[in-house]
Structure 1
Amino acid sequence: MRSLLSIRTRGVRRAGAALVLGALLLAPATPAAVAAPAAAPLPADRHQPEGDPDVLRDAAPRGLFVGTAVDMAALANDPVYRERVGAEFSSVTAENVMKWETLQPERGRYDFAAADELVEFARANGQRVRGHTLVWHNQNPAWLAEGDFSRQELRAILREHIHTVVGRYRGQIWQWDVANEIFDDEGNLRQNIWLETIGPDYIADAFRWAHQADPRAQLFLNDYNIEGVNAKSDAYYELARQLRREGVPVHGVGVQGHLGVQYGFAPDTTANLQRFAALGLRTAVTEADVRIPMPADTVELQAQAQGYSSLLTACLRTPRCDSFTVWGFTDRYSWVPDWFEGEGAANLLDEDYNPKPAYREVLETLALASGRGRD
């Protein structure tokens, strides 16, 4: 049996000698300055046969939640954006406001204002919330990224953060991306502060601590470039299988779905999702967008529609693939132009909220699938 330590690593400093298998005692979290929003039951699937077939959330088959990442500045300042988020989607993901640099900008000082606002918006609109993210190598505050911590100290910092954040939203967040982007494209554990200081057992620790803080939340691994079967998705498959064997509460795997029309689309996405499902895991498409070299033409917009459809269809064909989330829905607020020079137009709607072929393709695919039940 392979242990987590047999998964390839490079340059691990002060790594633990083995995966910690024993259950860890729950430590009290540092209380937040602002009271947490009151917990309420998670919204049920709102799909209604008499709902509006021309919006995504009502066109979707029962059991599939259609979501978007939410830009909180746009939500506050753009009435059209706010209306479309509420009308079109049955789940929302915190694009940035649940990341470390926002939630804990200084050690021990938490700022939940924006995250609370998103949770309240979702409650008002009958939406579920995906929490993103508890452990990542990026968007960490300077005090954490530049700190010089012992293994014991950093492990305590991570546990306290997870207990505080997940505990605050206990019963209110449906799924958490617990461990985000922890492998490189070759299938090696990514070098980050957690691996280098704590060792690979930080992954199992994070899942256990999140489960202690909210036993009802579904806990996910999440990454890009794992849509198809490749070295990276193989690494996640082996990790998930090993964690499950060892009783670690990992419940799902999220494939992000950041695609580009110039690269084509993985032909084996369905097979990949289904092999995770065969392990007893949930799956989800968590961050879908399909970028285009600019300026976009008609052919590329049709190819973009095929990219979205390939992800959605794979999810629909996979048992317990229960959410399909786009990473923003309008080009007006897309992250893509700032990160991929010369590329853009990655979302379902253009900058003026007009639907593209991709929106119509997703809507039609959902409508065609809605006649059959989903677990």
Structure 2
Amino acid sequence: MKQLRRRSTLVAAGAAALLLVPAAVAVAGGNSGPADTSLRTLASKQGLRIGTAVDAAKLGTDKPYTDIVAGQFSTVTPENAMKWESVEPSRGVYDWKQADELVRFAQQHGQAVRGHTLMWHNQLPGWLTTGVANGTITDTQLRDILHRHVTDEVTHFKGKVWQWDVANEVFANAWETPRTDGLNADDFWIGHLGPGVVADVFRWAHKADPKALLMYNDYNITGEDGTNVKFQAVYDFVKKLRAQGVPIDGIGEQGHLDTQYGFDARRYQDDLQAFGDLGLKVAVTEADVRTFVDNATDQVPTDALAQYAQPYEFSELLKGCELVRQCVSFTAWGVYDGDSWIPDTFSGEGYGLLYDVNLKPKPAYSTLQQDLKLAAGTVRHAGD
């Protein structure tokens, strides 16, 4: 049923986007145009930070990529460099090299850093998952290990990370097994340590760096799946934690969209606002809009309307953030289609980001540029 409804939505998006997308897309890189037309400069005029997830290994080694990251964005998120398997590949042996280099790059270019991520069920070091599986790491030991990991990583970057995704994706989706509180009963951390671990990691992170913004980060929490069930579970749970004094500062709405499914922009904005009304900051943390493509190399959409639907949906994501005073940042999950997680994760899909496989800006880029121009000068929030 979603796909049948989506066809009419896609046509409508295409028609609307024809009005949004300029006939020619401006060249957008580090030094390719007037400074005041970069996304970061335009966003700053309304007190908003705009960012991207970054492959730390490409910074300084891939000049076109580096120029775009430096010139267009005011926040950077390490796509993998701060995940547990990257920073502690062997037990007790840390490797901060790539993460430190990314932080230095950000400091050199006046960018804030979003730390990603402290507690997630995926990309855990092999020594940890193997030890839990074979019983050499008990649940009691696992909690102590997690405590040390959170404390050590946040302490290492104390004063250098603006936002931390503290807990990531612990709530159940429609196809998963929920507990009565909405948490995913099959999540690695919930299964081994129980629901109390969510509050624990926020407390540990806050103790290590009291000034960092501490976020809960997830997808499908603003109605993207066609329901508001997951939103309500997260809302109720976070409201309870806040009442208990747990130092959770904000919600990260990932913003992964697909042109074949419906997207209710009004519900999305209303849900962001509901989180904001709890006294939380909100951020769009991993935005992309994927579609079916001819192949993973060229990533040309198989449906011509997708080239209009993508900028339309990116625009709705950004405008929803702009209209919520508590929304402090908007981040795309990657710089360009040639380095995107999408083709390897969703068979036959791609074309999800602002730049194409050749690092050329797409219509989605110029649409966001225009949205930011129109909102310039709007006083939205206090920033931090």
Instruction: Answer whether TM exceeds 0.5 for this pair.
Output: yes
Match of 2:243 in 1: 245
Match of 2:173 in 1: 185
Q: TM-score of the superposition, structure 2-length normalised?
A: 0.82
> Equivalences for 1:103-122 in 2 at 5 Å?
103-122=87-106
* Partner SS for 2:359: coil
TM-fit CA distance, 1:231: 1.1
Could you tell me how far apart the structure 1 residues matched to 2:352 and 2:154 are?
A: 31
1:258 maps to amino acid: H
1:358 maps to amino acid: A
Match of 2:232 in 1: 234
Say yes or no: does 1:102 pair with 2:97.
Answer: no
Match of 1:73 in 2: 57
Could you tell me how far apart the structure 1 residues matched to 2:93 and 2:48 are?
A: 37
TM-fit CA distance, 1:329: 2.2
2:272 maps to amino acid: L
Q: Would the aligned equivalents of 1:286 and 1:326 in 2 still touch at CA under 8 Å?
A: yes
2:286 maps to amino acid: E
Match of 1:223 in 2: 218
Question: Quick check: which one's helix share is greater?
Answer: 2
Match of 2:154 in 1: 166
> For each residue in 1:143-174, what CA deviation from the matched residue of structure 2 results, as whole angstroms up to 9, or x when unmatched?
11122333321111111011100001111100
TM-fit CA distance, 1:373: 1.4
Could you tell me how far apart the structure 2 residues matched to 1:192 and 1:107 are?
A: 22
Q: Would the aligned equivalents of 1:227 and 1:256 in 2 still touch at CA under 8 Å?
A: no
Match of 1:154 among 142, 147, 159: 142
Match of 2:36 in 1: 53
Say yes or no: does 1:277 pair with 2:276.
Answer: yes
> For each residue in 1:320-366, what CA deviation from the matched residue of structure 2 results, as whole angstroms up to 9, or x when unmatched?
10100000121121111111111111111111222211111111111
Deviates more, 1:96-105 or 1:365-374: 365-374
Match of 1:257 in 2: 255
Q: Would the aligned equivalents of 2:57 and 2:98 in 1 still touch at CA under 8 Å?
A: no
Q: Would the aligned equivalents of 2:76 and 2:106 in 1 still touch at CA under 8 Å?
A: yes
Q: Would the aligned equivalents of 1:163 and 1:213 in 2 still touch at CA under 8 Å?
A: yes
> Equivalences for 1:187-336 in 2 at 5 Å?
188-190=182-184, 191-228=186-223, 230-267=228-265, 268-295=267-294, 296=301, 297-336=303-342
> For each residue in 1:47-70, what CA deviation from the matched residue of structure 2 results, as whole angstroms up to 9, or x when unmatched?
xxxx82321001113321000000
Match of 1:35 in 2: none
Match of 2:356 among 344, 350, 356: 350
* Partner SS for 2:356: coil
Could you tell me how far apart the structure 1 residues matched to 2:347 and 2:52 are?
A: 23
Say yes or no: does 1:83 pair with 2:67.
Answer: yes
Match of 1:144 among 89, 104, 128: 128
Could you tell me how far apart the structure 2 residues matched to 1:258 and 1:196 are?
A: 26
Q: Would the aligned equivalents of 1:265 and 1:310 in 2 still touch at CA under 8 Å?
A: no
Q: Would the aligned equivalents of 1:288 and 1:327 in 2 still touch at CA under 8 Å?
A: yes
TM-fit CA distance, 1:230: 1.3
* Partner SS for 1:77: coil
Structure 1 unmatched runs, 5+: 1-50
1:151 maps to amino acid: D
2:53 maps to amino acid: A
Match of 1:3 in 2: none
2:305 maps to amino acid: V
TM-fit CA distance, 1:76: 4.0
Could you tell me how far apart the structure 1 residues matched to 2:98 and 2:76 are?
A: 14
Query: How much identity, in percent, do the aligned residues show?
Result: 49
RMSD between aligned alpha carbons? Answer: 1.3
Q: Would the aligned equivalents of 2:46 and 2:375 in 1 still touch at CA under 8 Å?
A: no
Q: Would the aligned equivalents of 1:150 and 1:197 in 2 still touch at CA under 8 Å?
A: no
Could you tell me how far apart the structure 1 residues matched to 2:46 and 2:152 are?
A: 33
* Partner SS for 2:36: coil
Q: Would the aligned equivalents of 2:170 and 2:190 in 1 still touch at CA under 8 Å?
A: no
Q: Would the aligned equivalents of 2:49 and 2:329 in 1 still touch at CA under 8 Å?
A: yes
Match of 1:368 among 367, 374, 380: 374
1:221 maps to amino acid: Y
Could you tell me how far apart the structure 2 residues matched to 1:130 and 1:288 are?
A: 14
> For each residue in 1:82-129, what CA deviation from the matched residue of structure 2 results, as whole angstroms up to 9, or x when unmatched?
011000000000100100100111111111000000000000000000
Structure 2 unmatched runs, 5+: 1-33, 295-300
Could you tell me how far apart the structure 2 residues matched to 1:346 and 1:196 are?
A: 33
